[in-house]
Structure 1
Amino acid sequence: MVEKTLETLFHETLKDMYYAERKILKALPKMERAASHPDLKAAFEKHRMETEVQVERLQQVFKIFGKRAQGKTCDAIEGIIAEAEEIMDDFKGQPAIDAGLASSAQAVEHYEIARYGTLARWAGDLGLEDAKALLVATLNEEEATDKALTTLAEASLNPSAKAA
């Protein structure tokens, strides 16, 4: 049996996130179309553009690590996106759809924050400082997106859903 090390964990988690980011890229336009609030639509569009860059960063991390960029099915992101699709179906045309979509987007962000934090820490432990810098840049974007979604939800989306 091959010994599994921190390098193995790093590589497997990197593949997981590569798959997840590419899956998110496909989901964001659907979420943008389903949203009714213009600020939420803009947030989804902004994050789609950021995610494209994040995929490129992951490709760079794979290169630094000496591996080919490839994904492996991420069951967690599959589940989170399935829940978002359920909200899009169940709340279509309803006042609470935007609050639900923001919540789904934050579930994605929280998963990404957890994974990128771990990957950055492991990259540092493995002496991959250039990879760590790339992963921290993405982590910072994910945290900023989460904060922006919280602000939007608290200021507009949740009150609108409640008032209706």
Structure 2
Amino acid sequence: MANQALGMEINDLKDLYIEQLQDIYSAETQLVEALPKMADAAATPELKQGFLDHLAQTRTQAERVASILTELGEQPGGKTCKAMQGLVEEGSEMIKEKAVPAVKDAGLIAAGQRVEHYEIAAYGTVKTYASVLGYGQHAALLETSENEEKATDQKLTMLAREINVAASA
């Protein structure tokens, strides 16, 4: 298999698939580090629990991606997802803001939804690549993760309805 270390060429869809999977793995491992901090910063018990629930899910998603990469003869690590770095930094800035609890929670939800939308797009893309490349089992696993991300986004939207109203008072 082609080594996907920084600077290696991406010559075909399979190479791009592997590169994108490594990127997602990096994103998920960064999120595993960030979610406990977001949970600690949340004032609303339901939001705090939502971040903790998503932490367990994120660990499982990282394991799924790692298993796919291993099956392809590739290492999960070695790449840094720059997009997730930026999204995590945005969340860190919100954690540090001096704001009333409801307003901070509204900001944490916004940061969380940006992450979810990025992940939905990333999983949708690699799911499509897996299908085109004939990796039906991979596509099914990636679709599971994509659906979990969509469900998390919906949960955040539901929480935002109440929290945003409280933040506007």
The answer to whether TM tops 0.5 is yes
Of 145, 161, 164 in structure 1, the residue corresponding to residue 167 of structure 2 is 161
- Unaligned 5+ runs, structure 2: 1-7
Q: Does 1:22 align with 2:25?
A: no
**CA positional deviation for 1:84:** 0.7
Question: Equivalents in 2 of 1:133, 1:49: separation in Å?
Answer: 20
User: What TM-score do the two structures reach when normalised by structure 2?
Assistant: 0.91
Question: Matched residues in 2 for 1:21 and 1:96: separation?
Answer: 26
Looking at structure 1, the residues matched to 31 and 146 of structure 2 have their Cα atoms a distance apart, in angstroms, of 15
Match of 2:11 in 1: 4
- Aligned residue runs from structure 1 range 1-164, under 5 A: 4-154=11-161, 156-163=162-169
Aligned AA (1:147): Q
Quote the Cα distance in structure 2 between the aligned partners of 1:10 and 1:152. 34
C-alpha contact (below 8 Å) 2:42/2:101 kept by paired residues: no
Structure 1 position 65, deviation (Å):
2.1
Partners of 1:17 and 1:43 in 2: how far apart?
Answer: 21
Mapped contact 1:64–1:130 kept (Cα < 8 A) = no
Q: Which moved more, 1:7-16 or 1:26-35?
A: 7-16
Question: 2:24–2:122: 8 Å Cα contact kept in structure 1?
Answer: yes
Segment of structure 1 superposing worse, 71-80 or 34-43: 71-80
Cα deviation, residue 9, structure 1:
1.0
The whole-number CA distance in structure 1 between the counterparts of 2:144 and 2:70 is: 17
Classify 1:3/1:10 alpha carbon distance in 2 versus 1 (closer, same or farther; 3 Å).
closer
Normalised by the length of structure 1, the TM-score is 0.94
Query: Where does the alignment leave 5 or more consecutive residues of structure 1 unmatched?
Result: none
After superposition, the CA RMSD in angstroms is 1.4
Work out whether residues 43 and 101 of structure 2, in 8 Å CA contact, stay in contact via their aligned partners in 1: no
Equivalent AA in structure 2 for residue 103 of structure 1 = A
- Distance verdict in 2 for CA 1:162–1:15, change over 3 Å: same
1:98–1:157 Cα contact (<8 Å) kept: yes
